[in-house]
């Protein structure tokens, strides 16, 4: 897994550019065969990786699979040590976040997935989250806020994420607001 993620990181850093297998192998201190196996494993996961004989590999610019390696490229330097758990499918990002928080995960630890099979929203209610329809994410925050101020975290985070998505991709995203009835 580490090998495949290392190759993905190099491809993400050079997205749209052709880089030789030899360069990747030398950069990661691995064999060309290992690189080839990692490329095939990534392709099996849905990554579009073009190969040109005697030139190398290129991660297609329209590849939109969510990965820690792809996300990390856009983080500010002071946020580069945030732990990111990326999944294609997960039962619930919220459940994993709770478990990680209980075992001491750091502030900012993020769990992100393209699909949840047992997503949970407020008060443990089911949250419909099918594949290829959204980004499902939970983040562990350990803010120094009052309980009254902490209710604003979700709202401000959603708006900030939509703004960041637009800034990076020029794609307008939407927020599924949760209705609260008193």
> Is residue 45, in this structure, part of any structural domain at all?
yes
Tell me the pLDDT tens digit for each residue of 73-126: 888 888 888 999 999 999 999 899 999 999 999 999 999 999 999 987 667 778
| Domain count along the chain | 3
Inter-residue contact 61 to 16 (CB < 8 Å)? yes
Question: Is there a single domain that holds both residue 174 and residue 117?
Answer: no
> Is residue 66, in this structure, part of any structural domain at all?
no
Which stretches within the chain are classed as H helix? 2-13, 21-28, 32-44, 68-72, 93-102, 147-150, 152-169
List the domain range (segments joined by +) for residue 98: 75-142
CATH code of the domain containing 47: 1.10.10.10
- CA dist list (Å): 59 to 18, 96, 110: 8, 30, 24
> Is residue 132, in this structure, part of any structural domain at all?
yes
> Is residue 103, in this structure, part of any structural domain at all?
yes
Could you tell me the two tokens for 103? 């075992």
d(CA 42, CA 63): 12
Question: Is there a single domain that holds both residue 111 and residue 93?
Answer: yes
Tell me the pLDDT tens digit for each residue of 115-128: 999 987 667 778 77
> Is residue 17, in this structure, part of any structural domain at all?
yes
């Amino acid at each position: 897994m580490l090998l495949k993620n290392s190759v993905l990181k190099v491809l993400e850093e050079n997205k749209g550019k052709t880089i030789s297998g030899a360069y990747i192998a030398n950069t990661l201190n691995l064999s060309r065969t290992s690189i080839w196996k990692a490329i095939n494993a990534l392709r099996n996961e849905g990554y579009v990786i073009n190969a040109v004989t005697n030139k190398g590999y290129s991660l297609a610019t329209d590849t939109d699979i969510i990965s820690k390696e792809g996300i990390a490229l856009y983080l500010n330097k002071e946020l580069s040590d945030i732990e990111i758990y990326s999944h294609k499918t997960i039962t619930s990002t919220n459940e994993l976040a709770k478990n990680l928080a209980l075992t001491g995960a750091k502030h900012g630890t993020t769990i992100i997935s393209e699909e949840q099979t047992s997503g949970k929203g407020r008060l443990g209610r089911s949250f419909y989250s099918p594949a290829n329809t959204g980004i499902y994410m939970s983040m562990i925050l350990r803010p120094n806020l009052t309980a009254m101020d902490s209710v604003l975290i979700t709202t401000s985070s959603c708006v900030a994420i939509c703004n960041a998505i637009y800034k990076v991709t020029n794609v307008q995203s939407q927020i599924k607001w949760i209705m609260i009835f008193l």
